Structure 1
Amino acid sequence: MGNPKAFLTIHRQEAGYRPLNERITDFGEVEQTLNSHDRRLQASRCMDCGVPFCNWACPIGNIQPEWQDLLYKGKWKEAYEVLESTCDFPEFTGRICPAPCEKSCVLKLSADEPVTIRENEVAIAEAAFREGYVLPQHPIRNGKKVAIIGAGPAGMVVANQLNRKGYEVTVYEKQDKVGGLLRYGIPNFKLHKNVIDRRVNLMKQEGISFVTSTEIGKDISAKELVEKFDAVCVCIGAEVPRDLPIEGRELKGVHFALELLSQQNQILEGKSFDNDKLINAKGKKVLVIGGGDTGSDCIGTSARHGAIKVTQIEIMPKPPVGHNPATPWPMYPQVLKTSSSHEEGCHRRWNINTCRFIGENGQLKAVEIQEISWIKSEEGRMQMVPTGEKEIIEADLAFLAMGFVHPVQEGVIAQLELAVDNRKNITIDNRAAASTAKVFAAGDAATGASLVVRAMAGGRKAAQEIDTYLSQK
């Protein structure tokens, strides 16, 4: 720790967002950056705690105090090397991670001014690319081959880790481009897709093969896969959104959130859609059902389309502001979160149940809702109880952003099981799963829907398990 008193004299300074009236006119990244001098000052605030709770809270185990100190001292290259030792793609996590490390920073507890760890992380990563510190690595090959199904964050990490251990890695992706949720679920105003392309190009230079527009069981059989490769890792993500099977669900104008987000990202990459399939909120009243990050992304996208009104409803109670006794430090705080998209114009409501969609000539026109409260039953379960009269919200578009159910794995997994002809040895559960029959899983395919950084952590774990399995084989 180069400056042991910096946290006493230097306050937390965030880079902040681009001006609202400017950023809602485009899909450029909303977050700004600090100059290198101010960034180093922010890094100096790290106290190098005896027990670094930031490290404890980080799913991938980043050793933040070490690279914060290197950044403060101006050793950008060394800072990147330490950062990359635990995080395969800091340019991703530095942009989209909710930063549980910052919520567990001792300065969050003592002064409510945690170190700007996430912003510092992406600053280090961008400097590394800008200054040419990130160069292709060409490891000595060990003669073994691994197939990865799915090119999202977990699959990319598994590929990156195994490739650098000397394995010949082939990644199969059913979409036409690599990235998974990073490319097709997260808006450009949070993560511009050239950031993904830059990393994918580097991985290709290092010898990783990406086979896109290819679906296992359709374009290539599972049998062919397990015969051709020494191990297979399933990283198909959690692609099944939670539905809302109520009256009027079939109406035109009711969409899953990812239908909007994926289509918009594809449009920005040059793809066009027929008018009957195009989802656009220009001049429309929008209702977003679900209060999480995906719902927030729908709000920001609708604002950029030119929606005349956006309402977001959440079935759960409004979280506390600032501090929640139920989630004390160093736990991740369940408190009210206001995103950049919320600032761009949105009416938010909590404890609201959606009763039915109302249409006219097959087109959504309104949504019937009702205020509710939550009580604990005699069995200890939380139950929803109506507390208000039903009311009508006018809406031309409704986006379902209620999370994801655990992915339906039976298709791919069953095919792989039969292909290795050893069903009883296959283990796919809530861990990065491994089996004696060379089938593994990582990311949301193993755990259910979670954070990108947790999918990346699962990818690292699966890569280690695959390496152990093939080394012992």
Structure 2
Amino acid sequence: MGNPTGFLKLDRQLPADRDPSERLIDWLEVHEHMPEDGIKEQASRCMDCGVPFCQSGESRFAPQVAGCPVNNLIPEWNDLVYHGRWKEAVQRLHKTNNFPEFTGRVCPAPCEGSCVLGINAPPVTIKHHEYAIIERAFEEGWVVAEPPSRRTGKTVAVVGSGPGGLAAAAQLNKAGHLVTVYERADRIGGLLMYGIPNMKLEKHVVQRRIDIMKEEGITFVTNTEIGKDISAQTLHADFDAVVIATGATKPRDLPVEGRELKGVHFAMDFLKANTKSLLDSGHQDGKFISAKGKNVVIIGGGDTGTDCVGTSLRHGCEHVMQLEIMPRPADARLPSNPWPEWPKTLLVDYGQSEAIAKQGDDPRHYLVMTKKFEGDDEGNIKAVHTVHIEWAKDEQGRMFPKEIEGTETRLEADLVLLAMGFTGPEEAILDQLEIEKDARSNAKAEYDKFQTNVKGVFACGDARRGQSLIVWAIDEGRRAAREVDTFLMGQSYLP
């Protein structure tokens, strides 16, 4: 590396976040920018470690073991950044990742979890370098449309325009195939457009990439649901190959008393309506679920729960609380969670930090189970009844939540958001094509093959693997594209 002692002399630094009092009154991205000299200094912390675990995510070990699923050439572009060779850095970055502007913003950075420096010091700020490289490239005009020099005449339909579908489409287009992407929403982007709030991923960033892909020859069709507006059988007959990348969009429900009350919503319905109204009218149309002036209870954690916290605060809620059934993570790695496993430690994300700034405490409450919802005379949610639990083993050795007597609590609530994850893909297209499913109701297709039981139909991303990370969806989209290309042409030169 250019600075072999950088990791010894420099501490980990990230750009500051905007003050909560400022960012809670808008929907702009949370983070400030770091000067170029600071980015170069941080890049110099990348060690000449010999075996860069950061760039070697393995599907068979995920998510226990960290590492980059798309095998980003991290030490290489860290060194290029340190030497100010930004154009070469973005060329290296694009070799493995079609959309570093997305992962540089919203990926939880499993690469940093396996950074060798992280064994006994804070890891390298890999995710921020990825963001800095691609944004510099866009500023300099280095990211331009690169349509293929020849066309094969083969046609491919990609169902779903989230990160997996877009990655597959981009790679198949590079191979010269005629690609059409179908999206049931009114805007392209899937999870990137409507599942992630604007303050984490501003939508002009998504549209910027979509516009380039259009210039490269990809056709996008919106407001069209395969299995409803167009039958899956018709699609299969009309195209030489089909890639199913619909995501895992069936939300996990909470079947307790009072679930039918008004004011109890799935988190994704809340987030999608909010972003659509923001983009359509700046929230002037009123076509969203407002948290203004309400006591909000969010059931579930993870990124979706955090996004609900941040969105509720921006609406001007009275108070927001998150209930999590799992224990509070440790402040530091436990002996049972050694490097290079993903560190199961307490994180304070942007939503929690905003709640702390506004309310004075962390909104998360751990080891809490919801028992029932209480409504008023008009059928509106009024309160959530909970009990504290501890995790115990049953006679078969399986873990279960054991209620702790005397810990029952009644929480006032005007809005309840269910953020408990997803159970799998919606089934219309799978059923119409008679695609086999695995035990978790996902499309059954082997990793690195992606071929379903139906000839010419492939599945990738969350529709195949279940709810996962954006970077895994990109990895699967790229790998699936190679398999589709091989199916169509007999061989593939795609990476």
Asked if TM exceeds 0.5, the reply is: yes
- 1:141 counterpart SS class: coil
Any conservation in 1 of the 2:43–2:82 contact (CA below 8 Å)? yes
Moved runs in structure 1, 4+ residues, more than 4 A? Answer: 271-275
Q: CA deviation at 1:36?
A: 1.1
Whole-angstrom distance in 2 between the partners of 1:160 and 1:265:
25
Given the alignment of the two structures, is residue 351 of structure 1 paired with residue 351 of structure 2, yes or no? Answer: no
Q: In structure 2, what is the equivalent of residue 381 of structure 1? A: 398
2:468 equivalent among 410, 430, 450? 450
CA distance in 1, matches of 2:401, 2:136: 50
Unaligned runs of 5+ residues in structure 2 are 57-66, 356-361, 436-442
Q: Which amino acid aligns with 2:353?
A: E
8 A contact 2:445–2:458 mirrored in 1: no
Q: Partners of 2:288 and 2:208 in 1: how far apart?
A: 29
Deviations 1:392-422 (A, max 9, x none): 000100100000002233x21232349xxxx
What are the within-5 Å matches in structure 2 for residues 403-422 of structure 1?
Answer: 403-409=421-427, 411-417=428-434
Deviation, 1:348, is 1.7
Identity %: 51
User: Amino acid of the residue matched to residue 181 of structure 1?
Assistant: L
- SS of the aligned residue for 1:368 comes to strand
1:67 aligned to 2:83?
Answer: no
Instruction: Give CA deviations for 1:405-458 in whole Å, capped at 9, x if unaligned.
Output: 02233x21232349xxxxxxxx72363621471000010000111011111111
Report what 1:153 is aligned to.
Answer: 163
2:219 counterpart of 1:203: no
Question: In structure 2, which of residues 371, 383, 387 is the aligned counterpart of residue 366 of structure 1?
Answer: 383
Cross-structure match for 1:33: 33
CA RMSD of aligned residues (A): 1.7
CA contact (8 A) 1:430 1:447 kept: no
**Letter of the aligned partner of 1:446 in structure 2?**
R
Q: How many Å apart are 1:273 and its aligned residue?
A: 8.4
Deviations 1:305-324 (A, max 9, x none): 11111111101111111223
- Counterpart CA distance in 2 for 1:240 and 1:220 is 21
Note if contact 1:314-1:349 (Cα within 8 Å) is conserved in structure 2: yes
For 2:267 and 2:102, how far apart are their aligned partners in 1? 21
TM-score by length of 1: 0.95
Correspondences of 1:8-87 after superposition (within 5 Å) = 8-56=8-56, 57-87=67-97
Rounded Cα–Cα distance in structure 2 between residues aligned with 1:148 and 1:225: 10
Q: CA deviation at 1:325?
A: 2.6
Matched, 1:316 2:326: yes
SS across alignment from 1:169? strand
Q: How many residues are matched?
A: 463
Q: Secondary structure at the match of 1:67?
A: helix
Q: SS in structure 2 opposite 1:392?
A: strand
The residue that corresponds to 1:460 in the other structure is 478
Q: Which residue of 2 aligns with 1:422?
A: none
**1:240-278 per-position Cα deviation (integer Å, ceiling 9, x unaligned):** 000001111111110100111101111111156876x64
Per-residue displacement from partner, 1:15-66 (whole Å, max 9, x unpaired)?
1210111011111000122111111111111113210010121111111000
Q: Which residue of 2 aligns with 1:122?
A: 131
Flag structure 1 segments of 5+ consecutive residues without an equivalent: 419-426
Q: Secondary structure at the match of 1:330?
A: coil
Contact kept, 8 Å, 2:300 with 2:420, in 1: the verdict is yes
Cα drift, residue 128 of structure 1: 0.6
CA distance in 1, matches of 2:446, 2:296: 36
Separation in structure 2 between the aligned mates of residue 417 and residue 259 of structure 1, nearest angstrom: 29
Q: d(CA) in 2 for partners of 1:128 and 1:347?
A: 38
- AA partner of residue 372 (structure 2): R
Corresponding residue number in structure 1 for 2:335: 325
Q: Which amino acid aligns with 2:46?
A: C
Match of 2:458 among 440, 452, 458: 440
Q: Following the alignment from structure 2 to structure 1, what is the Cα–Cα distance between the partners of residues 389 and 431?
A: 42
Query: What residue number does 1:187 align with?
Result: 197
Distance 1:157 1:302 in 2: 32
Aligned-pair CA distance for 1:391: 1.2
Q: Which residue of 1 aligns with 2:60?
A: none
Per the TM alignment, residue 168 of structure 1 is displaced from its structure 2 partner at its CA by 0.8
Query: 1:423 aligns to what?
Result: none
Q: Distance in 2 between matches of 1:200 and 1:63?
A: 24
Residue 153 (structure 2) pairs with residue 136 (structure 1) = no
Q: Is the 8 A contact 1:136 1:203 kept in 2?
A: yes
Structure 1's 443 and 78: CA in aligned 2 closer, same or farther, altered over 3 A? same
Contact persistence 2:180–2:220 (CA under 8 A): yes
Give the SS at the match of 2:404: strand
Kept in 2, the 8 Å contact 1:428–1:440? The answer is no
Alpha-carbon distance in 2 for matches of 1:125, 1:255: 37
**Mean Cα deviation higher: 219-228 or 360-369:** 219-228
Residue 165 of structure 1 aligns with an amino acid whose one-letter code is: A
> Aligned equivalents of 1:154 and 1:124: distance in 2?
22
Distance 1:110 1:278 in 2: 46
Equivalent position to 1:399, from 390, 412, 417: 417
Superposed, 1:154-173 pairs within 5 Å as 154-173=164-183
Post-superposition Cα deviations, 1:84-123, rounded to whole Å, max 9, x if no partner, equal 1001100000000000111111111122x21110000010
- In the alignment, the residues of structure 2 paired with residue 124 and residue 387 of structure 1 have an alpha-carbon distance, to the nearest angstrom, of 51
Deviations 1:327-380 (A, max 9, x none): 211110111111111011142211100000001020111000000101122312
Give, as a single letter, the amino acid of the residue that structure 1 aligns with 2:374.
Answer: I
Q: Tell me: CA distance 1:60–1:376, structure 2 relative to 1, closer, same or farther (3 Å).
A: same
